[in-house]
């Protein structure tokens, strides 16, 4: 494939919404996406609690909606998912996304609500890496996704299992049901398979990544927010993740999901094959480190370590609810109250992005 384009802008809280709207125009979103078909906005709620850099920001969402509407996209629908450890409705409220959807009259659907969409059997035309083995009973996807455009709204942050997370990882919630934790041991190959499926079912794919505040540390939740003032966008999900990884300080091709997707021709992961349009990021290296937390240490043992063979017992039986409870207690009770709440308050006081966040209702 030829070179990919990743659009990068350096912005400020005063102009970020207009900047993002203009960015969509410069990136020719009205050519990349099919204007005759609906657009799914797939936000990213990694944690229902408002941890800076963890979730889609209200200005990222607002700028994207405004840009799409100005370009003539009339059918815009938000789709949210839940995991065994996140609460989407609570997340949309606490992270101030619900008010933006209401302002622009964008309906919110949930892929876990049978009244909103059905999960249907899907037989990919492509050769899958692992999904057919993880789900031998068959791959299921939400029927609502088929034939529509999708715009992913990830943030630039680290991840305890994939090093970085971004546009490709955002499909993990949308296209897989609440049993997606079955795939963690093969997470990199799973993300590549999901991109293959997206290319088959969507009429257009685009990503707007918020990097105004990036997440350093054991993400996608327990991180230290770092002010970076950036927004990235591309129709190549591999390329936008590769550029974000480079900015954070990682070699993109050392990250398996980027490397495999590049090798299988799904996008460009090599920086020499990516044209950066806009802000020059060649000298940026924030030297992020993923590190560990309690969740990653447990995951390393159960999903990637010596107990991997027993994961069927741990995660496909009622025992899984013990791990769900443990995660909730660790993240929502201990870590949030010991560290997270203070990080949020400090960010609101010291960062201009935190002050902008306070302006949203």
Is residue 194 classed exposed, middle or buried when 0-12, 13-18 and 19+ CB atoms within 10 A define those classes?
buried
- pLDDT of 33-80, one tens digit each? 999 999 999 999 999 999 999 999 999 999 999 999 999 999 999 999
pLDDT surpasses 70 at 303: no
- The domain tally of the chain equals 1
pLDDT band per the 50, 70, 90 thresholds, residue 308: low
Question: For 185, which DSSP code?
Answer: G
Share of the chain above pLDDT 90, in %: 80
pLDDT band per the 50, 70, 90 thresholds, residue 327: confident
pLDDT score of 84: 63
pLDDT score of 336: 97
pLDDT surpasses 80 at 127: yes
Alpha-carbon gap, residue 152 to 276, rounded angstroms: 19
Give the CA radius of gyration of the chain.
19
- pLDDT of 158-174, one tens digit each? 999 999 999 999 998 88
More confident residue, 160 or 303: 160
- pLDDT of 22-33, one tens digit each? 999 999 999 999
pLDDT band per the 50, 70, 90 thresholds, residue 83: confident
pLDDT surpasses 90 at 280: yes
pLDDT band per the 50, 70, 90 thresholds, residue 349: very high
pLDDT surpasses 70 at 117: yes
Q: Range of 352's domain?
A: 4-359
Least-confidence region, from 73-87, 204-218, 244-258: 73-87
- Tokens representing 290? 């993923």
pLDDT score of 302: 65
pLDDT surpasses 70 at 319: no
pLDDT band per the 50, 70, 90 thresholds, residue 91: very high
Q: How much is the mean pLDDT over the chain?
A: 93
153 neighbors 56 (Cβ within 8 angstroms): yes
Least-confidence region, from 90-99, 161-170, 316-325: 316-325
Alpha-carbon gap, residue 215 to 312, rounded angstroms: 32
- Reduced to 3 DSSP states, what percent helix, strand and coil does the chain have, rounded to the nearest 5? 45, 20, 35
286 neighbors 214 (Cβ within 8 angstroms): yes
pTM of the model: 0.94
Average pLDDT over residues 247-268: 98
pLDDT score of 82: 80
pLDDT band per the 50, 70, 90 thresholds, residue 183: confident
């Amino acid at each position: 494939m030829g070179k990919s384009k990743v659009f990068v802008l350096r912005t400020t809280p005063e102009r970020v919404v207009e900047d993002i709207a203009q960015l969509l125009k410069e990136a020719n979103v009205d050519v990349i996406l099919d204007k005759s078909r609906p657009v799914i906005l797939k936000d990213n709620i990694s944690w229902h609690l408002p941890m800076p850099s963890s979730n889609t920001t209200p200005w990222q969402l607002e700028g994207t909606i405004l840009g799409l509407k100005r370009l003539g996209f009339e059918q815009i629908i938000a789709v949210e998912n839940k995991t065994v450890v996140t609460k989407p409705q609570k997340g949309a409220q606490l992270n101030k996304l619900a008010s933006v959807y209401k302002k622009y009259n964008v309906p919110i659907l949930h892929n876990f609500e049978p009244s909103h969409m059905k999960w249907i059997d899907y037989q990919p035309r492509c050769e899958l890496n692992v999904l057919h083995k993880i789900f031998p009973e068959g791959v299921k996807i939400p029927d609502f996704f088929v034939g529509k455009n999708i715009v992913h709204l990830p943030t630039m942050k680290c991840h305890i299992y994939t090093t970085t997370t971004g546009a490709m990882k955002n499909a993990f919630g949308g296209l897989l049901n609440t049993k997606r934790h079955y795939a963690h041991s093969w997470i990199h190959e799973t993300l590549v398979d999901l991109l293959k499926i997206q290319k088959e079912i969507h009429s257009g794919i685009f990503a707007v990544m918020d990097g105004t505040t990036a997440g350093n540390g054991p993400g996608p939740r327990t991180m230290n927010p770092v002010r970076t003032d950036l927004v990235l966008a591309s129709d190549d999900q591999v390329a936008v993740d590769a550029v974000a990884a480079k900015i954070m300080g990682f070699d993109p091709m050392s990250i398996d999901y980027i490397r495999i997707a590049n090798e299988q021709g799904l996008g460009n992961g090599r920086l020499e094959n990516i044209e950066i349009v806009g802000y020059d990021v060649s000298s940026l290296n924030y030297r992020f480190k993923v590190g560990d937390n309690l969740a990653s240490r447990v995951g390393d043992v159960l999903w990637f370590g010596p107990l991997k063979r027993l994961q069927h017992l741990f995660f496909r039986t009622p025992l899984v609810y013990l791990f769900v409870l443990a995660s909730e207690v660790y993240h929502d009770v201990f870590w949030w109250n010991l560290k997270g709440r203070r990080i949020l308050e400090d960010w609101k006081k010291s960062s201009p992005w935190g002050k902008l966040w306070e302006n949203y209702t």
